Amino acid sequence: MNTPMYRASATTAVPTLTVNRVLRNTYALLAMLFVFGGITAYAAQAAHIRLGFLPFIIGIFAFSFAIGATRNSAWGLVVAFGFAGFLGVFTGGNVDAILYQYRNGGELVAASFGLTAGIFLALSAYAMTTKRDFSGWFAFLGVGTLAILGAIILNFFLQIPALSLALSTMVILLACGWIIWQTQMIVRGGETNYILAATGLLADIFVLFNNLLALLGFGFGED
């Protein structure tokens, strides 16, 4: 789930050629960022690198600021790949923990990946084809993201398992909402910066995967 940094109108008049260019560039960059994030995730898992919660939170805010500041320059691409690598390292640590904790860890990782891919493709297709306007979701998603982030930080100190599961479920729902909103923003011309668009969708994909992995581990993990 990305820090809200998009314009909140999906009705901005933008030439069709511009929208098509942004859409094409967004998904081309998203594919490259995903591959790079996957490589760093594999490397982190193989090296048993696990990123702590507080460094992760600090990194998310730092990269959100840096992406926003460099989005209109070549440095934005450098920061975007750094962000993908950062998400990959964090994800690799979670995958390593699942593989270590559960006998069927490999199956859980594969199932989480399949579910993430299926959900992302389905939601993207829906956002691109529906006539419904989701621009009004921005405020709800933004407030919900901040509220859940605060609850996650609080639970880091409380360590309540039931709350962790509830938060993972809510994070998954929010990530789905962000995917729909961000995709429609691109398609309808509300977002014209492909670096912001690609990194936002990438964050949603990794958030979705990690939280699905946590839920699957709890529900179907074999000790």
- Residue by residue, DSSP assigns 90-113 as HHHHHHHHHHHH-TTHHHHHHHHH
| Position 202 pLDDT exceeds 90 | yes
Residue 72 Cα to chain centre, angstroms: 21
Read off the pLDDT of each residue in 49-71 and give the average, rounded to a whole number.
Answer: 94
The verdict on residue 40 lying in a domain is: yes
Q: What is the pLDDT of residue 135?
A: 86
| Residue of 119, 130, 82 whose CA lies nearest to 212 | 119
The verdict on residue 138 lying in a domain is: yes
Residue 111 Cα to chain centre, angstroms: 18
Read off the pLDDT of each residue in 91-97 and give the average, rounded to a whole number.
Answer: 96
The verdict on residue 52 lying in a domain is: yes
Q: What is the pLDDT of residue 5?
A: 39
Spatial distance between the Cα atoms of 186 and 193, rounded to a whole number of angstroms:
9
Highest mean pLDDT among 1-10, 17-26, 113-122: 113-122
Amino acid at 207: V
The verdict on residue 34 lying in a domain is: yes
Read off the pLDDT of each residue in 60-82 and give the average, rounded to a whole number.
Answer: 96
| Residue of 110, 93, 113 whose CA lies nearest to 45 | 93
Amino acid at 215: L
Domain tally, the chain? 1
Q: What is the pLDDT of residue 15?
A: 64
Q: What is the pLDDT of residue 20?
A: 84
The verdict on residue 3 lying in a domain is: no
Spatial distance between the Cα atoms of 171 and 166, rounded to a whole number of angstroms:
9
The verdict on residue 10 lying in a domain is: no
Q: What is the pTM of this model?
A: 0.90
The verdict on residue 4 lying in a domain is: no
pLDDT band at 13 (very low <50, low <70, confident <90, very high): low
How many angstroms separate the Cα of 175 from the Cα of each of 6, 11, 74, 165?
A: 15, 22, 28, 15
Spatial distance between the Cα atoms of 18 and 15, rounded to a whole number of angstroms:
5
Q: Which residues of 168-200 are buried (b: 16+ CB within 10 A; e: fewer)?
A: bebbbebbbbbbbbbbbbbbbbbbbbbbbbbbb
The verdict on residue 7 lying in a domain is: no
Helix boundaries (H) for 52-160? 53-70, 75-101, 105-129, 137-158
Dihedral sign for Cα atoms in the order 136, 141, 144, 150: negative
Spatial distance between the Cα atoms of 181 and 35, rounded to a whole number of angstroms:
23
pLDDT digits (tens, 9 = 90+) for 107-158: 999 999 999 999 999 999 999 999 999 988 999 999 999 999 999 999 989 8
Tokens of 194: 């492909």
Which residues constitute the domain of residue 36? Answer: 16-220
Amino acid at 96: D
